[in-house]
Each structure stands twice: as structure tokens, then as C-alpha cells.
Structure 1
Amino acid sequence: MKKSMRNIGLVITMFVISLTVSCSKYIENPNPEIPLEDIPVIADRRLSINGVELNPNTTLEEPIGIPPGATKAHVRLTLAGAIMSTAYVQVNTSTGGAKGFNVSRDISTPFKYQYWRPGDNADLWITVDIINPRHTPGDQFKITFPGEGTAGPVACIFQIQEGAVNELPDKMPFHRNPLVLHADGVTPTMNLDMAAIKWSDSGYDADGKPVWRSRLSHGYSQSGNSETGLYTNVEAFPEDAVNPQTREVDGEGRPFVRLHTIKFEEPVAFGGKIFPFQASVLQASYLPDWKHRLGVYRAQIQTPSRRGAWSAFWAIGSDLSTGVSQWPPEIDFFESFNGAYGAAYTPRSTSSAQHIGVHGSNQRDMVNGLKSELDRVPGFELNVDLNAKPHDYACVIEADWITHFVDGKETLQHRNMLGRADGGTDWAFYPIINVAVKIGAENPYNEGTPDLLWYGLQYYAPRSGWSIQ
């Protein structure tokens, strides 16, 4: 984040902070008196160890004493500021500073992320298992705490000390379980028929009726973020497009839409730039039935595995009186970067975010989000693979909170900061499904799967029977 929320008061001072009861009665705002402009930015979300605030990338100066023969070591992390957005740390060993301990053999740390979620206490106790205890005073080992949603990693050293007391408190601070989305069996307000979906370059069919649009609202490229894929369709690029969007049926008889990426045989010149790759998109900018400000957007998607094939299920704003698209706002319900921007390249990478700024200004003042590896998220199997079959991605948008889910399990919750600066409500989000390409032209782009397979889309209105608990 490059700017403090305090510097974008125009964006948020006119927000109406609703405290009404909604479909999710799981949690009350733990800090209802905190105005949106005082929500801590990441740079202010510093970590303390045992009450000592640390700068990012530093180690607690004094070692934490543990008694000789200890089989567990405990430490208290504290996250500064109101917890208005999910954050987590990993618990990793380090060979630096070790004495008498072989950390790879003697120390076991939790594999899953250790979380702060909205509603949680700022204190979080971490326990490290000592598989092979030591008894010699001065023997020690180091633990580091990198993560997401904090100002930066910190570290501490545990040291054998005679007479040391290292115990958990009698009453542990509250940390809630991840939420679960309950929508199966609930009739969606809108349910897209994937066997009958239509699209066109203009966003209208031959009879003038609105359909899905096979291009971005602002054109055919996203050159501003250095994407190297051109969003083609067969109407606008009849000589270059290579089946960018097709309706198909899989071996189980399930209809889906394939969004196809490929390296062009010859790069395509467009808008004064050269594009080596084909990207693909379908979006609902002209479909009023899919435009909503609150509720649940949900899609079933199998993501591509190819490095540089950057897939996403997301939404941007639309002025309802004019139908004009507006950016900001933006919600990234789900993204899989596949190595783009140096992000992780694994079959379990997930990312979600909100992009904040004056609506329609084309200027982003802040991004608030979270990246995860799902095998480290509680509730997911170690072998989870988003590229192997369709998975369910959902986002619950409420007046106060935005909550993201994969396969019905919470991955991120953050305060909704996407209202209009003037407090107006004549706007809504519309959904977008796309697979971008962001990789160098020299890359052969020929390993793994290049396509996003889109199996379904639903929208559930507020108070229509779904719940999160």
C-alpha cells in the first residue's frame, strides 16, 4: 500500500457505516466506533513479541527463556491496530543463531497459517514443539514469523535458561474458526445456464438484446499492468483469434465455457503495442440482472496450470443510471497468478482483494487483500489442486464486510471500503471471468494447461436463504 487511508479521506469519509443485522449473524463489529479512515494500513500493522513492538525484519533483542528439558516453547504475538482484515503468520525455523539445537531435526513448527481474523483478539499465542529437548543453559534456536496482512516479518530466539518459566496463559485469547458458506440447496436469485450462454464483441446479440461481452469494457488490452496477452474474440480479430471462447461439454456431461490462451504463431500488433499471446474474457457490463451491490457472487472454475496464465473471477463497478462501467471500485473474488508479478506458482495459490478509490476516477488509492497457499489454510487438504477439477469460489458482499470463500471455506475477510465517496447508492458490481497472460515473449508457453474452464455462475440476493457461520 502506497498511501495511508488517512490520505484518502475523500474516498471514505462519506461512507455510511451500517450496523444493521444481515444474513451473517456470526460476529459483531469488534470496534464499531472506528471510522473507516482509521482502519490500519499494512505499514501500521506491526507485530509485537511478548509485548515488545518490533520493526519489520528484526529479531527480538532478548532471548525468550525456556527451562531445561522443555518440550514446548510458547510466544505471544500481538498485531497492532484494529483487526479489520485477515492476517496470518507462518512459523518457520531458522539456522541463524542456533546453538546446541539442530533445528531441522529437533524443532517442529505448525505447518498451517496462524490467523488473526476480524473479531479476534490482538494477542496470538504460538507453540513450537521441541522434539529433542536440550538441558544445557545457553543452547538456543530461532523462529521467524513471515506472513500476509502484517507490516513485515519478525523473529525471536528461544534459549535454555535455568529457572525460566514459559507457559501458556490460563485463559487463551479468542480466535474464531474460519467461516463456512452455506448456500447449497438454496435457490440462487440468478443462475447462469452454461449450455445457453451467449456473448459478442458488442455485448448485444443480433436482436439487440444484451449478452455477455467478449472484451473488456475499456478495450482489448490491459497494457497498464504490462499484460502480454491480447483479449481477442472472433468478431474483432477474425484473422488472429484462436477459439478464445467456446461452449463445450465435458466427459461427465457438464456444460462449460472454455476461455483459451495461446501463443500466437505471429505476434499481433494492436494499439501501438505487440502482443505475443492471446487472452480471453467474458463480462456482464450490459447485463442488468447480474449487477448487484450486496449479496453473494459464486462461480465454479477450473484454473489453468501454465506459468503466466493468470486467471480471475472479479467485478468492477457500474453506474446504474447510465450503465457506464466505473473503476474503481473492484473486488477480486479470486485470482490465481501462476507466477505473474513474482507470485507463487503452485496449483493451490489463491488471492483476493478490494481496490479502493473515487469511483470512475481510474485512480487506485489503496489495495487491501491477501494471498494464500490453500494447503496451509485450515480446512483444506495438503494435496488441494485448483487446476485438476472445478472448484467453487464465492464472495459475500455486505455493508460492513467482504468475505471470500474457496469451496465454501473462508480465506479472507475485510472491511468493505468500496462505497462511493459521495455516499450515493446508484451503482453496483458486475462479474468478469478472464484468463490473462503475463509472461515474456521469449517464453514458449507450451507447458501445462492454458485454459480456464468455467462451469457455472450464481448470484444470491441478501436474505435469500444463504448464511455464513
Structure 2
Amino acid sequence: MQATRRQVLAGTAGVVCLAGELRAASAWADTPANVVQTSESEIIITINDAVVGSGDRVARVPVALSVATNRTIAVEYFARGKTENAAGNPNEARANATSTVARGYLVFQPGEQQKTIEVPLQHPLQSGESIEVKLTDYFIYPQHAYASRIGTIMSGAGAAAPRNDSIELPSLPAGGTVVFSDDLRDPDFASDSGFRADGKPCWQSRHSHGRRHDSNRELAYYADPAINPEAKVWGIASTGHRFIQAEYVQNGLSDGKGGKLLLGWKEHTPFQYTAAIVTSRTLFNRITTGSYVECEVKLTKIAGSWPALWLKTANDQWPPEIDIFEAFITSTSYPADALTSSIHWTGQQGHRTYGASVPLAHLEPGADLFSKFNRLGCLIGENQITYYFNGKPFCAMPNLVGAGPWYMLLDVTVGGVLGEPSDPKSFPARMHVAGVKVVQF
């Protein structure tokens, strides 16, 4: 079975700290000929120590990229207070470093190189007091195995405020022609074949290669209610909107022959979860350069569920792939504004990926993926793919995937990189869909 983006998500994010360097392998040597390449072989993020005066109530920590990239890079930071004992025993000092002073994130947009972490100080730092600041990948994907070092904020002569770069991503262009739109509310909106009984195309209720993703170690079977009567898979909510959902089926899914459908990667284990997918493979597969794709959705926060909207090429080769959004809902504490967008392509070293998990609160105060509908989309430019949240740009990746043409896939699956759900009975995990559209500019 062919691989997908979900095969490459194993591992844990590393940590980067003050006075250290953050290194990530660059794939510029692998970019297609029509994309401008950089001479840099790696990206380095340098983080300097900060010194604060006796009257300072904010420590400003400079963070810098060694080169301006053409993609969004998001990192999270943790600032923790540290107090040494009278003897200055470093082991005991580390044991006392338990108070989190601040937690936040930095987002470098294409072209930006300088950012500042601002750490509020509850009181002036005394002798023997300092603050450790650590950086890591924001959220869980994509991961770069960054190096780990430790640095400090300490008292001394106050320093000048560092510089903050600010480069705006492109706004959505005006005009354009809507070439496809659907609210998915037709009773016969989807089928196994991607065609209705009258021969007209509709949404297809499975991947092109079938109804399972064993290569991703997913726990769910992509069901269709016409084929799998134990599964509901989709319906119309009380609000009148279409939903698709992943479900927990305690007794397992029937294979229609008196047995159970079994996981291909877990011996003798039946599928106890269903996944839901609808694709525009037969309905609309002409997304290309100059296309803006948007889906208006509301998600449910169910630990172990994995909703996504992504694009695959009409010839079904993989890579490439464009992920407009993915929500890796690892637990009930998943942040309401965390959204991951990425690209996958083939370079000289094989499968490659760029992506960023970006918090959205700086775009829209109170941003929430679960309490209300939001419009999530991307504009495919010749050189850049820009991602939008409620019409505002928040992320960008270089177009290393080509012109397509592409089709859409909306799905909610279970497991994979997320592992076993902590509470199976909290399912179903729903994606409510108010509508999708494609605008051509």
C-alpha cells in the first residue's frame, strides 16, 4: 500500500535554549528547477542571553534566523524561574527550576529573521536568581530533531530592546470566479464509487486505494453506511449542516462474512473505530495554480481523532500533497487555536515535507476551532502556497509541489501518530461542514 503524510510523523520534538543554536536540515538542493534556490545548506536559529536591570519588569530575549526563509517557521518557548541555593549547587538549582514564568510562541513568516521573546518579571531578579528559556517545535508536527542547550536571563545592566521583523503575507486577491461549491447536504452526496445511481459524479467515500491505511498505523476503517451498517459515518446536524465522523464500535466492524474486519498491522485485532472521508476525486479534480480552496468547518475536541482537509493530485501519485489543515488532537487539553499546514513533495533524497503548527490567536482574538465555524483555505501560487484563516493569511510554504491538478479530501480518522484514544466512549469525533468552494484567479 502506498505511503502517505502520516507515515512520517513518528518521534518527539527536541528542545532549543538560550545561548544555543537551532538547526534544521534544508531541502533547497531538492527543489524543482522552477523554484529559486538558496545557497544555505541549513537554517540556524540563534538565541542570546538576556540581561535585565533592577527596575525592569520585562526581559526581552532576541531570537534570530541565520537566513530569511521562504516558509513559515513556528517555535514554542517555555520560561522557568531558577534559584540557586547558598552553596550554588547546580544539581539542586535544577531541582528548584519548577516555576513556569511564561509560555508562548514565535512565528517567523517568510522573509523575517528577527523576533523577540518577552518574559514578564514578577519581581526584580535577585542574586542567585535567573530564568531559563527553552524553545521547541510548536506542537507535534512537523518535527526537526533540533539541538538542545540551556541559557539564562539574569540581572545586570539593562539591554536595548531587540528588533522585531514584520513582513505581511499576501492578502486574498479580489475578484476571481467560483468554479466549484457545495454544502454537501444532498442525501446522495457521496458513494463508494464516486458516482450516483444516475451516473452523475458525487463525493467519493474512500481513498483511491481503498478503505484502510495500515501503512499509517491508523486504527480506523474508512466506512460507508451503505457498506458498513454498523457505522453512521455522516449525517445532518440539528443546525442543518453536514457532518462526517469517526466512531467507536466496541464489538468491531463486520466483514460481511460472519467475521470481523482486522487491522493489517496489528495481528488478530479488529477495527473498533471507523473513519470518515469524502473526496472530490470524481466530482471536481481541476484545482491548479491560481486556485483558492476553502472549507468552512467546526471540529469536536476528541482525544485521538485526526481531522484534516488536504489536496492530492488527480493522477493519485504520492507525494506531492498539500495539507490545508490538520488538527492532531492528542488530548482534551489540545489548544483551541492550533492549526497545522504543510506540503509534501519528492526531492533528490526522496519524500520531503515542510510545515508549521501555528497558533491563530494573533490573527483573531478568541480563535476557536471547536465552538464555531471557521473558514480554512489556501491559495496555490506559482511560487508560494499561502494559507488563510477566516480570510486572513497565517502561514506560507514554497510551491515545491507543482501545479497539480488536485482534488480535495476531507476526513476524520483515528490513531496513527496520535496512538490509542484515551477515552473511546468520548467518540464520535465530528467535523461539521458548512460548505466548500474553489475560486479561480
TM-score under structure 2 normalisation? 0.77
Q: Distance in 2 between matches of 1:260 and 1:446?
A: 14
Shift in alpha-carbon separation, 1:123–1:368, aligned structure 2, 3 A: same
Q: Distance in 2 between matches of 1:176 and 1:145?
A: 22
RMSD: 3.6
Candidates 176, 181, 184, aligned match of 1:191:
181
Using the TM superposition, give the Cα deviation of residue 411 of structure 1 relative to its aligned residue in structure 2, in angstroms: 3.0
Using the TM superposition, give the Cα deviation of residue 130 of structure 1 relative to its aligned residue in structure 2, in angstroms: 2.8
Match of residue 35 from structure 1: 37
Shift in alpha-carbon separation, 1:329–1:267, aligned structure 2, 3 A: same
* 1:55-95 deviations in Å (ceiling 9; x for gaps): xxxxxxxx644333333333321112332221233343213
Q: Matched residue of 1:234: which SS? A: coil
* 1:255-313 deviations in Å (ceiling 9; x for gaps): x3221322224223447633111111100112246533442100011112221221111
Q: Distance in 2 between matches of 1:275 and 1:48?
A: 47
For 2:409, give the aligned amino acid: I
Candidates 387, 394, 405, aligned match of 1:411:
394
Candidates 136, 154, 166, aligned match of 1:159:
154
Shift in alpha-carbon separation, 1:404–1:65, aligned structure 2, 3 A: same
Q: Matched residue of 1:224: which SS? A: helix
Q: Matched residue of 1:326: which SS? A: coil
Q: Distance in 2 between matches of 1:5 and 1:142?
A: 28
Q: Matched residue of 1:210: which SS? A: coil
Q: Distance in 2 between matches of 1:264 and 1:188?
A: 40
Candidates 230, 238, 250, aligned match of 1:250:
238
Match of residue 298 from structure 2: 302
Match of residue 224 from structure 1: 215
Shift in alpha-carbon separation, 1:210–1:98, aligned structure 2, 3 A: farther
Cα contact 2:252–2:261 (8 A) shared by 1:
no
Q: Distance in 1 between matches of 2:324 and 2:293?
A: 8
Match of residue 146 from structure 1: 136
| 1:352 equivalenced with 2:341 (yes/no) | yes
For 1:167, give the aligned amino acid: A
Using the TM superposition, give the Cα deviation of residue 220 of structure 1 relative to its aligned residue in structure 2, in angstroms: 0.2
Structural mapping, 1:95-174, within 5 Å: 95-96=81-82, 109=102, 112-120=104-112, 122-134=113-125, 139-148=129-138, 151=146, 155-161=150-156, 164-168=157-161, 172-174=163-165
Shift in alpha-carbon separation, 1:208–1:293, aligned structure 2, 3 A: farther
Structure 2: runs of 5+ lacking an equivalent: 1-7, 10-23, 87-92, 254-259, 265-269
Q: Distance in 1 between matches of 2:84 and 2:363?
A: 33
Q: Matched residue of 1:386: which SS? A: coil
Match of residue 328 from structure 1: 319
Using the TM superposition, give the Cα deviation of residue 143 of structure 1 relative to its aligned residue in structure 2, in angstroms: 2.5
Cα contact 2:107–2:358 (8 A) shared by 1:
no
Q: Matched residue of 2:271: which SS? A: strand
Match of residue 369 from structure 1: 355
Match of residue 57 from structure 1: none
Q: Among the aligned pairs, what percent are the same residue? A: 21
Using the TM superposition, give the Cα deviation of residue 167 of structure 1 relative to its aligned residue in structure 2, in angstroms: 1.1
For 2:179, give the aligned amino acid: T
Deviates more, 1:385-394 or 1:209-218: 385-394
Q: Distance in 2 between matches of 1:117 and 1:88?
A: 9
Q: Matched residue of 1:446: which SS? A: helix
Shift in alpha-carbon separation, 1:154–1:398, aligned structure 2, 3 A: farther
Using the TM superposition, give the Cα deviation of residue 99 of structure 1 relative to its aligned residue in structure 2, in angstroms: 7.6
Match of residue 378 from structure 1: 362
TM-score under structure 1 normalisation? 0.73
Q: Matched residue of 1:285: which SS? A: coil
* 1:35-58 deviations in Å (ceiling 9; x for gaps): 16x576xxx3332134xxxxxxxx
Q: Distance in 2 between matches of 1:218 and 1:431?
A: 15
How many residue pairs are counted as aligned between the two chains?
393
Q: Matched residue of 2:210: which SS? A: coil
Match of residue 458 from structure 1: 437
